[in-house]
Chains A and B, each alone.
Chain A
Amino acid sequence: MSVETHGAVHRHEPPTGFIRKYIFSLDHKVIGIQYIILALVAVLVGMTMSVLMRMNLSWPGTNWPILGTLFPGGAPDGMMTPEFYLSLVTMHGTIMVFFVLTTAPQGGFGNYFLPIQIGAEDMAFPVLNMLSFWVTLVGFIVILAAIFFSGAESTVGPIGGWTAYAPLSALPNSGPGQGMGMNLWIISIAIFCIGSLLGALNFITTLLNMRTRGMSLMRMPLTCWAWFTTAVLALLSFPVLLGGGILLLLDRVAGTSFFIPGGLYVSGVLAGTSPNFPPHTGGSPILWQHLFWFFGHPEVYIAILPGMGATSHILSTFARKPIFGYRAMVFAIFAIGLLGFFVWGHHMFISGMSPYSAMTFSILTLSIGVPSAVKTFNWLGTLWGAKIRFHTPMLFAIGFVSLFVAGGITGLVLGQTSLDLPMHDTYFVTAHFHLVMGVASIFGMFAATYFWFPKMFGRFMHEGLGKLHFWVTFVGVYCIFVPMHTMGMVGMPRRFAQFTEYEFLASLHPLVMFVSIAAILTVLVQILFYFNLVWSIFKGKKAGDNPWEATTLEWVTSSPPPHDNFAGVLPTVYRGPYEFAVPGATHDYVMQTEPEPGEQPAGVSGNGHNGHKH
């Protein structure tokens, strides 16, 4: 590697002012950390809401004085109204899906590590990159505003769920929170779409245009493939949501009838008989579902693909073995992304669609099992017979595989029309998507955090705390979501504030209590993670440039990387990303930048000027 440091060096110095360096920064690393901080704040809001929901489900009729103080309208005398509960469901889902699962994996880690892993100094369009973060932040502020503006209506937001199904989402008089709260919700999502599109544009251009010398597509780490595919999915699906959102907003504020059918009788008022309920006619509520889910299904892959990439990367590194079937992994990522665009109908089996289209959607959905199984078996193949180093990132990566399998299996159940019809809108669905897209993605991000923290801050996270965090979280999420499958099979419906009215669900109450206690413990243990994160930045054990003995380009540069990533000399790549346990090599890993002995890189004269300069 020493050859890389020869020759004249032209460094890009970082800006010196605090604001240009840390606030309105053009540096992809700073922007990545800004995204991660945004997600860390958003996830606190989302988790708090889920705890409130569990409290209401498990201890019906209890007075929580603090709730009564905080939300005198939504929880009079400390007891939640059903509408308040529904608004918690909506905002929990929205904040988690958009501002946590979309921002941290892609905007956060993707921004930070994609340019470094392909050997670039920065993103292709740094100004757009900065804009994409600030636009996303404005979106987050608007969704928080929805919480406060709905306060007058005794909720914390709209009550229609994160899917905002028309026509009720299109009618301001359809319930508390559906007025200004719903408007702000749509505006926030539209702003978020624009921010994500700017980000996706940047990712795709960077990956196609900025790879360093020798970094062919098939030498990229699987993380880069995952981020690239995610960016393509975002690029093609967010515009559809944006278009649908504009139509929905027009229905609400301009009196159009895209999604609102005629003759509706809502909240005791017939359409056309009141000034705040204009006479809509002829709209199609199902049209909203199509537009929403055409975005919504790729969105779940936007959440999980980066986790898959990180998991592949980390499994290979800590198993000290090359990833099993690199090319199959690449094509599986693509296949999952491609199929993701043709399966949106499986969210709409009960919408009254033709059985023939339902069958088509069902077959396409089940076929996603093929690339998913390819990935799973390749992960297992990577682990097979390996001398595994069980550090915290590895534990979370293995946890990801476990959760992905556990949550994916039930996808095969729900993907079949005949099984989905009774399961739809029960806790079975809640359990399925929380395991596979929620918790698995988050485990991917935990793995990524523990893995890349030494690179980002030059220090390790505390290993003991990390392992404790892993085991409690891992056991905890299974305790939360496995019983939910049972509840769903018994027929417990989603989105109900309480079940005291239902005789046939009374026997499930101990299970509901169990889930709530597990959930609260799991949430509490995340405090350890936050503490570990902050503590390790200042007090963690010092890490070298390549503490995990990994092979890819981010480990070539210093920890943390300098402003221009490689101190002015871009690396040259000679080999694939996962060269572990190479027979005959001096170490059990060979860096991507290590040339064959005696081999001269192409296009370089023998004057010692090796590597990139400009």
Chain B
Amino acid sequence: MATTVTSTKPRSRSGFGGGPKSPRPNGNGSHERNGQSFTPEFSAGRYRIGMWVALAAILMMFTALTSAYIVRSASSNDWQPLTMPGILLISTALIVLSSGTLETARRKLKESAPGAHKRWLLITVLLGLGFLASQLLAWRQLVRQGIYVSSNPHSSFFYLLTATHGVHLFGGLVALIYLALRTRSSNDDRLAVAKGQAAADAVTLYWHFMDVLWIYLFILLFYWR
């Protein structure tokens, strides 16, 4: 009886328009919550979307800092580029390697091999710690040369960008340790398994992003112009 009033589109057309039509699965639609319990896709989608959204925010912050970097480098003649501390090459190698090991860890979990998953996770944590240590060594190397955060604009940006990236990476390390702690050798609870997989996927995504972000910052700091 009730014809639609919020759309002038004919009823047969699906898609946009507010007219009455059979409900289709949307968002957390029927295929996901119709049954007696949560199904795997439920939390997976939520974690994935949440992580992408968080990465968008982080990306915006580094975009802002990048534009500040570019503007500041052109705004005066006191810009003295640092010579690259050699140890940063080791940092870069470590973080690229850690992305590989974390990817392996994620696949092991998918193949239902929690033991191997945990081992690869721990290797990744060690590589991550190695990266942070090597960043700190780079700072010490600069300090020994008498280059501090206020010495010149390039050193200011170097300390700022490495520190900001390091803080984000440290957050990733905490997440990795959390993943390792919550991994059980055997688990019959489907929901817990699905949530663990979703969390592992989200953390891996974050870690890869931090990896690419470092490579970007490395190029920006030492090879741009």
Q: Indicate with 1 or 0, residue by residue over A234-247, a CB within 8 angstroms of chain B CB atoms.
A: 01111110111011
Please tell me if the beta carbons of A281 and B78 are within 8 angstroms of each other in the complex: yes
Whether A333 sits at the interface, judged by CB under 8 Å, is: no
How many angstroms from the CA of A256 to the CA of B76 in the assembled complex? 14
B5 touches A582 (CB 8 A): yes
B residues near A239, Cβ cutoff 8 Å: 57-58, 60-61, 64
Residues of B within 8 A of A573 (CB): 23
**Residues in chain B near residue A578, CB distance under 8 A:** 5-6, 18
Closest-CB distance, A290 to chain B (whole angstroms): 7
Q: Please classify the interface of chain A as helix (H, G, I), strand (E, B), loop, or mixed, using the class held by over half of its residues.
A: loop
Of A322-330, A425-433, A460-468, which stretch is located at the interface? A322-330
| A256 to B15 CA separation, bound complex (whole angstroms) | 55
**Assuming the A-B contacts A246-B160, A574-B20, A603-B30, are A236 and B1 also in contact, with contact meaning beta carbons closer than 8 angstroms in the complex?**
no
Determine which residue in B25, B58, B64, B149 has the highest number of CB atoms from chain A within 10 A of its CB, and name it: B64
Contact status A236-B56, CB under 8 Å: yes
Q: Mark B23-58, 1 if CB is under 8 A from A, else 0.
A: 111111111011111100000011001100110111
Instruction: State whether the Cβ of A550 lies closer than 8 Å to any Cβ in chain B.
Output: no
User: Known contacts being A124-B50, A215-B27, A579-B6, is A614 close to B57, with CB within 8 Å?
Assistant: no
B72 at the interface (CB under 8 A from A): yes
Q: Which A residues touch B60, using CB under 8 A? A: 235-237, 239-240
Residue B130 CB within 8 A of the other chain: no
Which residues from chain A contact B67 at a C-beta distance below 8 Å? 290-291
B220 contacts chain A at the CB level, 8 A cutoff: no
Q: How far is the CB of B61 from chain A (nearest CB, A)?
A: 4
Chain B residues within 8 Å of A258, by CB:
68, 72, 153, 156
The reply to whether the CB of B128 lies closer than 8 angstroms to some CB of chain A is no
A275 to nearest B CB, angstroms? 14
Docked Cα-Cα span, A577 to B4, in Å, equals: 11
Q: How many A residues, CB 8 Å from partner?
A: 84
The residue on B at minimum CB distance from A596 is B20
Q: Are the C-beta atoms of B49 and A204 separated by less than 8 Å?
A: yes
CB contacts (< 8 Å) of A599 on chain B: these are 20, 22
CB < 8 Å: which of A240, A287, A600, A604 contacts B61?
Answer: A240
Q: How far is the CB of A69 from chain B (nearest CB, A)?
A: 43
> Quick check: is B186 within 8 A (CB to CB) of the other chain?
no
Instruction: Decide yes or no whether B141 CB sits under 8 A from chain A.
Output: no
Q: How far is the CA of A583 from the CA of B153 in the complex (A)?
A: 69
Q: Is the CB of B23 within 8 A of A590?
A: no
- Who on chain A is nearest to B23 by CB? A214
Tell me which residues across on chain B come within 8 A of A200, comparing CB atoms.
53, 57
Which A residues lie within 8 Å of B15 (CB)? 218
- Whether a CB of chain A sits under 8 angstroms from the CB of B7 is yes
Is A283's CB within 8 Å of the partner chain B?
yes
Query: In whole Å, how far is B184's beta carbon from the nearest beta carbon of chain A?
Result: 22
Q: Is B114 an interface residue (CB 8 A)?
A: no
CA A614 – CA B180 in complex, angstroms?
Answer: 29
Q: Is A230 an interface residue (CB 8 A)?
A: no
Q: Which of B1-22 contact A (CB under 8 A)?
A: 1-7, 15-22
> Does A294 sit within 8 A of B, measured CB to CB?
yes
Q: Decide: B150 and A235 in contact? CB cutoff 8 A.
A: no
| Chain B interface bracket (under 10, 10 to 19, 20 to 34, 35 or more) | 35 or more
Q: Contact check: which of A242, A261, A577, A581 meets B18 at CB < 8 Å?
A: A577
B77 CB-CB contact with A under 8 Å: yes
Q: Does B83 contact A (CB under 8 A)?
A: no
Answer whether residue A219 sits at the interface, using C-beta atoms and an 8 A cutoff.
yes
Indicate if the CB atoms of B4 and A575 lie closer than 8 Å: yes
- CB proximity of B76 to chain A, nearest CB, Å: 3
Say yes or no: A601-B23 contact (C-beta < 8 A), given A576-B6, A584-B1: yes
Q: B68 is contacted by which of A235, A247, A262, A580 (Cβ under 8 Å)?
A: A247
Residues of chain A within 8 A of B145, CB atoms compared: none
User: A600–B5 Cα gap in the complex (Å)?
Assistant: 21
- Residue B87 at the chain A interface, CB threshold 8 Å: no
CB atoms of B76 and A602 under 8 A apart: no
Asked if A197 is at the interface (CB within 8 A of a chain B CB), the reply is yes
Cβ of A244: which chain B residues have Cβ within 8 Å of it? 64, 68
Most central of A120, A200, A239, A590 by chain B CB within 10 Å = A239
Q: Which residue of B lies closest to A214 (CB)?
A: B23
Q: Which of A283, A294, A576 sits near B7, CB closer than 8 Å?
A: A576
13 interchain pairs, CB-CB under 8 A: A216-B24, A237-B60, A242-B61, A247-B65, A256-B153, A282-B153, A284-B76, A577-B6, A584-B3, A596-B2, A602-B23, A604-B34, A614-B36
Residues of B within 8 A of A (CB): 1-7, 15-31, 33-38, 45-46, 49-50, 53-54, 56-58, 60-65, 67-68, 71-72, 75-79, 149-150, 153, 156, 160, 164
A-B pairs with lowest CB-CB distance, top 6: A576-B18, A214-B23, A282-B76, A211-B27, A255-B150, A239-B61
With A236-B56, A282-B78 given, name 19 new contacts (CB 8 A): A200-B53, A209-B49, A213-B26, A218-B17, A239-B58, A240-B61, A243-B62, A256-B150, A262-B76, A294-B64, A574-B23, A576-B4, A579-B6, A579-B18, A584-B3, A585-B1, A585-B2, A604-B30, A614-B37
